[in-house]
Amino acid sequence: MAAAAEQGLCSVYFCGSIRGGREDQALYAKIVSRLRRYGKVLTEHVAAAELDPRGEEAAGGDKLIHEQDLAWLRQADVVVAEVTQPSLGVGYELGWAVALGKQILCLFRPQSGRVLSAMIRGAANGSRIQVWDYTEEEVDAMLDRYFATYPPERKAASSNPSI
């Protein structure tokens, strides 16, 4: 485990479907639980069982959710996305993560019968952006392997206010 992760200094942004469908909520909870070993998970709420499939509710509405999520993305050292359930929001978050130069791991379960978007699978570059196929039974081992092989680098959020 990386020293930063052992000290709880790594910030993880977890992406999973909310309004696109909550079928994988229990798996998201398992992933978030494992991610806590490596640092602070900024978006733990994505795994919450009580989160309504229609989405999050916030006093400021959708605009506030958008602003908060972008702030967390900027703060994150690494982005981990479960991309099996198609989600416009997850795709949008990943686009921002790429633009911000974030370290990204996308997890996809081929046994779902779905085919992963070429825009996600094609973005994998073998270093900063990883796309890994897995089964639910492998998720803990996959995350352990990822964080051992690609420990997140602590870096400041972008200083470019337009990003």
Residue 106 annotated as part of some ligand binding site: no
48 labelled ligand-binding: no
10 annotated among ligand-binding-site residues: no
Instruction: Give the bridge partners for 104, in sequence order.
Output: 79, 129
Is 93 annotated in a binding site? The answer is: yes
18 annotated as ligand-binding: yes
Buried b (16+ CB within 10 A) or exposed e, 80-113: bbbbbbebebbbebbebbeebebbbbbbbbeeee
Query: Binding residue per annotation — 119?
Result: yes
Helix boundaries (H) for 76-117: 88-99
28 labeled part of a ligand binding site: yes
Does the annotation flag 117 for ligand binding? yes
Q: Reduce the DSSP state of residue 21 to 3 states and report it.
A: coil
Determine if residue 14 is labeled as part of a ligand binding site: yes
Q: Is 127 assigned to a binding site?
A: no
CA torsion angle 156 153 80 52 (round to 10)? -40
Annotated binding site for substrate: 13-19, 28, 93, 117-119
Annotated binding site: 13-19, 28, 93, 117-119
